[in-house]
A and B are shown apart, each in its own frame.
Chain A
Amino acid sequence: MKPFTYFSPTTLSDATRVLADYGADARCLAGGTDLLIRMKRHQWLPRAVVNLKRIPWLRDVAINAELRIGALVTLQDLVRAPIIREHFPVLAYAASKMAGVQVRNLATVGGNLCNASPAADTAPPLIALNARAVVVGARGERVIPLDEFFTGVGKSALAPDEILCEILVPRDDAVRASFIKLEHREAMDISIASVAVSLRNQKSEIKNQKCEDVRIVLGAVAPVPMRARQAEEILRGKELTEERIRQAARVAAREAQPIDDVRGSAWYRREMVEVLTRRQLIAMGKNVA
């Protein structure tokens, strides 16, 4: 690791001030499970490291009209928090598929999103649930829909002085969501491909399985976690037939933009998008019936 200046502010404004001073030469520190590895490998050489963990309230989970998840909430909190388990089991499940318990005790949701890996596993389910990011910078606060948060591999819509403070997830009892992470080994692995699906059915429509709204979100198959919008279109407002599900899954696979790398080849990832999308929609369709 190279020498750097360490800041540990106790207020958001102090933190954003340091970030504004150092610009691209500063990095926030949350759990450090991405940051420290990169620094030790000399991939990132920040001049300033800004610890966020002493800023109060960034670790809260609360639910009212919306679920609010503080950026510093750990993955293990997501796995365990009763509110999450009860109202958004898909988030608890996705977090449980990440890393191992030691890493999950350190790693934060905010870090996972801000790190902006195409394979960030909290992103697809959060996007599927229509989440928004609340960010605060030297010039104030703004809210970014999470499906517009990611701009490239390792890149987000955050300005250098901005901090992700919390994630808002709308509460809607008509929405059900699911997530599948495909790994080469069963745990402690980065996604080869992942798919999150959310479905909204009006209660009265459950009988004929009409899908009022749907989101299909793909992980690890494009530079950013992405929505398969054309596939969604095939299902939105329609009856959920097996035929349509199969077609939507094929279209989702076509929309993916995967690459070859050490974790898998592009053709395989594309094909898995189809399998994972189809499996989830069929399972969800069955649950409705």
Chain B
Amino acid sequence: MPQLGQSLTRLDARAKVTGDAQYPGDINLPGQLWMKVLFARRPHARIKRLDTAQAERAPGVARVFTARDVPVNEFGLGAKDAPVLVADKVRWVGEKIALVVAETEAQAEYARDLIAVEYDDLPAIIDPRDAMKPGSAQVHPAYPGNVIKHIPIRKGDVAQGFAQSDVIVESEYHTPAQEHAYLQPEAGIAYTESAFSIDDENRVTVIVAGQWTHEDQEQIAHALGLRLDQVRVIYPAIGGAFGGREDMSVQIILALAAIKLNRPVKIIWSREESIIGHHKRHPMWLKSKWGATRDGKIIAAQVEIISDAGPYTTTSTKVLGNAAFGVVGPYEVPNVQVDAYTIATNNIVSGAFRGFGGPQAHFQAETQMNKLAEKLGMDPVEIRLKNVLREGSLLSTQTPLPGGKVSLPQIVEKCADEFGWSQKSKIENIVLSVAKDRKSKIGYGFACALKNIGFSFGYQENAWAKVELHGAAEIDQVIVYHAAAEVGQGTHTALAQMAANALGVPLEKIELRASDTATSENSGSVSASRMTYIGGNAIKGASERALKKWNDEERPAIAEYKYLAPKTTNYDPETGKATPNIAYGYVAQAVEVEVDTETGHVRVARVTCADDVGHAINPRLIEGQIEGAVIQAQGWTIQENFQSKNGNVLTPHLSTYLIPGILDVPDRVDSVILEFPDYNGPWGARGMAEMPFIPLAPAIIAAVHDATGVWFDEFPLTPWKVLEGLKKKLDADRFARG
């Protein structure tokens, strides 16, 4: 019975719908204490005095922790450059100063407010474009000149390319920060065995929501000076992640308190603590110059990227690598020059968020393409078909795409067909007559993208899995061990379907023991659209090995497998030459918007999203990812307006940081799933969860231009920003008419 290509019911559906599923905040242990964090809530300051005496004497307080209590007071994904608790210098608002642990949450909060801190506030370094100028004040001693990383890419000769161009488009773009706004704010509970006796080794267990159990384990062990095997990380149900749980939030501090107090310690962040306490999508400034010939061939692209990292590295250098790669879009361009910088500032830390640099880069690339199409009088679909990457095309990194078929031409055409792109002038006439009364204008936009699958640029992708087959004549039960985090995307279901398929058993026979460092080796992060692909390959390998043993009469048949992906290389430091990634996903979107030209409101009426997923393991889960990504990207483009002033967050609540509501989502999202297999993917599958996020912003911007004649080079498209743009155009038109 085939298990792939079927929309089987998610393994966790019943528990989540009925409320049985246990999220970290739902888990309680006997004798637990509660923790509250004292955040700095100022962007840049020196601590002059920190006095916890009063807090320590407050009712119910078990202990107050400060920097002195952290054995190795440093952590961080890209570099261990951030303190767990600040000893002297505050570099962003979400920096942690002290922890209070008490019998109740209210007591912890009460005592936290008794901690006296005196600060010397320092001028905050806010605009990365200023921060990288010579003479700017320093954010972090590890980053002289505030440049955390510079990535150059040089292919061909752009000067020559521009000289040969018939049309040139130059623009300066800005893309905003974005809050993940997952349903479940950070929470967790940690315990040691003296208080909780299921473990017989001396270790601390942290039950928390994250994206990579083994990375959490490593970060906790490092900061606490423990061996890896002294730290166990377990993920229960997780309420969304989107990259926002890649960095450490409560992991280290919970483990610290638990080992010092030998009692379970629990924390739940409020929404406000979550919004100021974890990283955001990187704001970027992109300066761009593209040239094309009269017949629509792109021949040169020159782009400068400045990304605001906040004070610490986390994933900023990796996001920058992806952005530098993405700035030419899914096109073959003979002459490319990219200079990408990620800069330290005192803004909120930036980090991973669905698309990982791809959305910012593609907003620029796709808007450049749409502007070129306008200048050349070409259709946006036609100009894309002339330039998209195909098999054998050379990327800006001077290497071809791996994995066999490069389906971009098919994706673009299919998306246009399904949307009715070529008939849209007819649709327009009907809708316009309806909309006329409301001063509404209708517009259409198109964009496409490619996205890498997996971590790469020199890192060799890998994932581990173990499969146990129990039974006698027949396989009665399959136990699959895997560390993949089920963050809501459905990966556990997809992995189980793949195991069932490999073993030829129904899904009901699969029992997944997942997301626990004590029972699984490293399966890597749920990010970079990688788990179906990399994790799936591990499941496939382990299942095939176990099945062989089963056929050789071993009972139970047990096999482990570590999948090692093909090797990649990092950017050459001078030319950017690289074999950057092992696999890609391809996507195209067409959108219809309605603009109220008097109020500036933009409504997305319809989105068609065509996505090459290689092999649709579970089509309904894919549709869920497409619809979710479209809505999240629409929020980034229109509703979500993350505001900060001088490093302080002005929108720390969901009442001021507005994510789209059900009435704001498009009337229709048509998911078009295409399956061009990737040679190295499990059963040909590609990753897909980030792709549908990437083209939406430029597609909406193009549609708004189509409706109004105005190009918006920055967003979110708040109504006042739209109205301002429309007025500027009106003034310019009047002036032009004299």
When the two chains form their complex, are residues A262 and B660 in contact, meaning their CB atoms are under 8 A apart? Answer: no
Give residues 688-738 of B contacting A (CB, 8 Å): 718-720, 723
B651 within 8 Å of A (CB atoms): yes
Which of B599, B661, B719 has most A Cβ within 10 Å?
Answer: B599
A189 within 8 Å of B (CB atoms): yes
Of all chain B residues, the one with the shortest Cβ separation from A274 is B598
B639 within 8 Å of A (CB atoms): yes
CA distance A192 to B601 in the complex (A): 12
Main secondary structure on B side of the interface with A: loop
When the two chains form their complex, are residues B663 and A186 in contact, meaning their CB atoms are under 8 A apart? Answer: yes
Distance between B239 CB and nearest chain A CB, rounded to angstroms: 19
B656 within 8 Å of A (CB atoms): yes
Q: A264-B720, A268-B723 are in contact. Are A187 and B656 (CB under 8 A)?
A: no
Contact of B720 among A1, A190, A268 (CB under 8 A): A268
When the two chains form their complex, are residues A262 and B643 in contact, meaning their CB atoms are under 8 A apart? Answer: yes
Q: A185-B639, A187-B663 are in contact. Are A262 and B720 (CB under 8 A)?
A: no
Chain A residues with Cβ below 8 Å from B663 are 185-187
Which of A184, A189, A263, A265 has most B Cβ within 10 Å?
Answer: A184
Chain B residues with Cβ below 8 Å from A213 are none
Residue interface mask A255-289, B partner, CB < 8 A = 1? 00000001111011001100100010000000000
Chain A residues with Cβ below 8 Å from B600 are 268
When the two chains form their complex, are residues B656 and A271 in contact, meaning their CB atoms are under 8 A apart? Answer: no
Residue interface mask A231-247, B partner, CB < 8 A = 1? 00000000000000000
CA distance A262 to B652 in the complex (A): 11
Contact of B719 among A1, A187, A192 (CB under 8 A): A192
Distance between A184 CB and nearest chain B CB, rounded to angstroms: 6
Give residues 627-657 of B contacting A (CB, 8 Å): 639, 641, 643, 650-651, 655-656
CA distance A279 to B598 in the complex (A): 10
B658 within 8 Å of A (CB atoms): yes
Chain A residues with Cβ below 8 Å from B639 are 184-185
B664 within 8 Å of A (CB atoms): yes
When the two chains form their complex, are residues A272 and B655 in contact, meaning their CB atoms are under 8 A apart? Answer: no
A113 within 8 Å of B (CB atoms): no
Give residues 510-568 of B contacting A (CB, 8 Å): none
When the two chains form their complex, are residues B651 and A185 in contact, meaning their CB atoms are under 8 A apart? Answer: no
CA distance A263 to B655 in the complex (A): 10
Residue interface mask B656-685, A partner, CB < 8 A = 1? 101011111000000000000000000000
Of all chain A residues, the one with the shortest Cβ separation from B727 is A271
A188 within 8 Å of B (CB atoms): yes
Q: A185-B639, A275-B598 are in contact. Are A262 and B656 (CB under 8 A)?
A: yes
Main secondary structure on A side of the interface with B: loop
When the two chains form their complex, are residues B651 and A262 in contact, meaning their CB atoms are under 8 A apart? Answer: yes
Contact of A185 among B599, B650, B658, B723 (CB under 8 A): B658
A182 within 8 Å of B (CB atoms): yes
Chain A, interface size category, equals: 20 to 34
Of all chain A residues, the one with the shortest Cβ separation from B656 is A262
Chain B residues with Cβ below 8 Å from A272 are 599
Q: A185-B639, A192-B719, A275-B599 are in contact. Are A263 and B656 (CB under 8 A)?
A: yes
Chain B residues with Cβ below 8 Å from A189 are 658, 661
Of all chain A residues, the one with the shortest Cβ separation from B724 is A268
CA distance A190 to B655 in the complex (A): 8
CA distance A1 to B113 in the complex (A): 12
When the two chains form their complex, are residues B656 and A268 in contact, meaning their CB atoms are under 8 A apart? Answer: no
Chain B residues with Cβ below 8 Å from A262 are 641, 643, 650-651, 656
Of all chain A residues, the one with the shortest Cβ separation from B645 is A262
Distance between B120 CB and nearest chain A CB, rounded to angstroms: 25
Chain B residues with Cβ below 8 Å from A184 are 639, 641, 658, 718-719
CA distance A192 to B641 in the complex (A): 14
CA distance A132 to B227 in the complex (A): 71
Distance between A185 CB and nearest chain B CB, rounded to angstroms: 5
Residue interface mask A157-197, B partner, CB < 8 A = 1? 00000000000000000000000001011111110100000
When the two chains form their complex, are residues B664 and A185 in contact, meaning their CB atoms are under 8 A apart? Answer: yes
Distance between A277 CB and nearest chain B CB, rounded to angstroms: 12
Chain A residues with Cβ below 8 Å from B720 are 264-265, 267-268
CA distance A279 to B599 in the complex (A): 11
Chain A residues with Cβ below 8 Å from B718 are 184, 264
Having A185-B661, A190-B655, A268-B723, one finds 10 other A-B pairs with CB under 8 Å, namely: A184-B639, A185-B660, A185-B664, A186-B661, A189-B661, A262-B641, A262-B643, A262-B650, A271-B723, A279-B598
A-B contact pairs, 28 of them (CB 8 A): A1-B106, A182-B599, A184-B658, A184-B718, A184-B719, A185-B660, A185-B661, A185-B663, A185-B664, A186-B661, A186-B664, A187-B661, A187-B663, A188-B661, A189-B661, A190-B655, A262-B641, A262-B643, A262-B650, A262-B651, A262-B656, A264-B718, A267-B720, A268-B719, A268-B723, A271-B723, A272-B599, A279-B598
Q: Which 4 A-B pairs have the closest CB atoms?
A: A186-B663, A268-B720, A275-B598, A185-B658
